[in-house]
C-alpha cells in the first residue's frame, strides 16, 4: 500500500507565458510516502543462537513524483540481549535498486547509505531520518542494517500488512554485506517464514529535479538540446509545445531559449 499526498503542483507552462519563470521549487510541496505497514507493529525479531549483522528490507515500487528518496522512518525493537547487555546502536540505512524489478533483493545494487543511531521506540512509533537524497526507479529497497546481539530483537514487524511479507526480507551476515546480499548465509523472505508481515520501515520521496531544456535527457545543456528541440518543434511534437497551448509558435521557442539560458539545477 502506498499513499500519495499531492498538493497543488503548479504547471510550469502557466508561468512561462507570463514571463515569470518557475523554479523547480514549484512542485516541492509534493511528496510520496512509501509505506507497507498499517501503523501498528506487534512483534520484534532478531537472531537466536548467534550474534549477527542483521539487514531487514522492505521493497517498494517507485511512484511518479517520488523518485528522490530523502527520508527513511523506522520503528525498532530492542538491542539488549537476555543478560541485559546493550548492543551497538549504530544503524546503517541503505537505498538499493532492483535490476530485474522482481522485489527480490538478492541481486540488489547499493545506491546510498546513511549512518544513524538506533532509538528506543515503542510499538508503532517511528524515528524519522533525513537521508542522502537518492534517485530511484522501478522497484527499490529500503534496508536497515545493525550488528545485533544474540536474542536482541531490533526488527519490528507489522503482521497485518496487506503485503503479507511479500515485500519484506531478512538477512543475517557475519558483517555488513550490502554489496552482495545474494551471498548472505541466511536469507528469509518473510512471506515464506513463520513471521509473515512487513517491517516497520518507511520512506518518503519527492519529485526528481526536472530540467525541461535538457531535451536529450543526458543532464547537460548543449547544442544537441537546441537541435533536438528545433526538430521536435518542426515536427509539431507535443514535447516542443512548451506552453501547452496546442500551437507551435514564437512563444515555445522563446520559452525554450529562456529555460536553456537559465540552466539546469
Ligand atoms: Ca531482484
Ligand atoms: Ca542534453
Ligand atoms: Ca505552444
Summarize pLDDT for 130-139 with one digit per residue, the tens.
999 999 999 9
Ligand 2 centroid to residue 241 C-alpha, Å: 18
Q: What's the pLDDT at 30?
A: 76
Give CATH 2.60.120 domain extents, the chain.
31-206
Ligand 3 centroid to residue 18 C-alpha, Å: 13
Q: What's the pLDDT at 17?
A: 34
Ranges of residues in the chain with a pLDDT under 50 are 1-28
| Residue that the C-alpha cell 527480490 belongs to | 104
The ligand whose atoms approach the alpha carbon of 96 most closely is 1
Ligand 1 centroid to residue 170 C-alpha, Å: 14
Ligand 2 centroid to residue 78 C-alpha, Å: 50
In a 10 Å sphere around its CB, with 0-12 CB exposed, 13-18 middle and 19+ buried, how is residue 25 labelled?
Answer: exposed
In sequence order, which residues have a C-beta less than 8 Å from that of residue 20 and are 6 or more positions away?
A: none
Ligand 3 centroid to residue 236 C-alpha, Å: 9
User: Is 232:240 a contact under the CB 8 Å cutoff?
Assistant: yes
Ligand 3 centroid to residue 24 C-alpha, Å: 21
pTM: 0.74
CA distance 24 to 12: 9
- 31-206 topology per CATH: Jelly Rolls (2.60.120)
Residues 202-234, buried b or exposed e (16+ Cβ, 10 A)? bbbbbbbeebbbbbeeeeebeeebeebbeebbe
- Identify the H or E element spanning 54: strand 52-61
Amino acid at each position: 500500500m502506498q499513499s500519495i499526498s499531492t498538493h497543488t503542483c503548479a504547471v510550469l507552462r502557466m508561468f512561462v507565458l507570463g514571463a515569470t519563470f518557475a523554479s523547480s521549487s514549484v512542485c516541492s510541496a509534493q511528496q510520496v510516502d512509501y509505506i507497507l505497514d498499517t501503523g501498528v507493529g506487534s512483534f520484534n525479531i532478531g537472531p537466536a543462537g548467534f550474534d549477527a549483522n542483521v539487514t531487514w528490507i522492505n521493497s517498494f515500487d517507485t511512484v511518479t513524483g517520488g523518485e528522490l528518496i530523502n527520508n527513511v522512518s523506522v520503528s525498532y525493537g530492542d538491542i539488549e540481549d537476555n543478560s541485559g547487555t546493550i548492543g551497538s546502536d549504530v544503524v546503517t540505512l541503505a537505498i538499493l535498486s532492483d535490476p530485474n524489478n522482481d522485489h527480490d533483493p538478492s541481486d540488489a545494487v547499493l545506491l546510498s547509505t546513511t549512518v544513524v543511531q538506533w532509538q528506543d521506540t515503542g510499538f508503532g512509533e517511528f524515528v524519522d531520518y533525513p537521508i542522502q537524497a537518492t534517485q530511484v526507479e522501478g522497484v527499490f529497497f529500503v534496508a536497515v542494517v545493525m550488528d545485533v546481539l544474540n536474542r536482541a530483537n531490533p526488527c519490528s514487524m507489522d503482521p497485518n500488512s496487506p503485503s503479507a511479507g511479500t515485500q519484506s526480507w531478512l538477512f543475517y551476515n557475519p558483517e555488513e554485506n550490502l554489496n552482495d546480499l545474494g551471498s548472505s548465509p541466511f536469507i528469509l523472505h518473510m512471506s515464506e517464514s513463520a513471521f509473515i508481515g512487513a517491517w516497520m520501515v518507511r520512506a518518503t520521496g519527492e519529485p526528481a529535479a526536472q530540467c525541461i531544456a535538457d531535451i536529450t535527457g543526458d543532464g547537460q545543456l548543449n547544442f544537441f538540446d537546441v537541435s533536438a528541440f528545433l526538430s521536435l518543434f518542426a515536427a509539431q511534437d507535443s514535447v516542443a509545445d512548451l506552453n501547452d497551448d496546442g500551437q507551435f509558435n514564437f512563444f515555445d521557442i522563446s520559452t525554450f531559449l529562456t529555460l536553456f539560458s537559465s540552466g539546469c539545477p
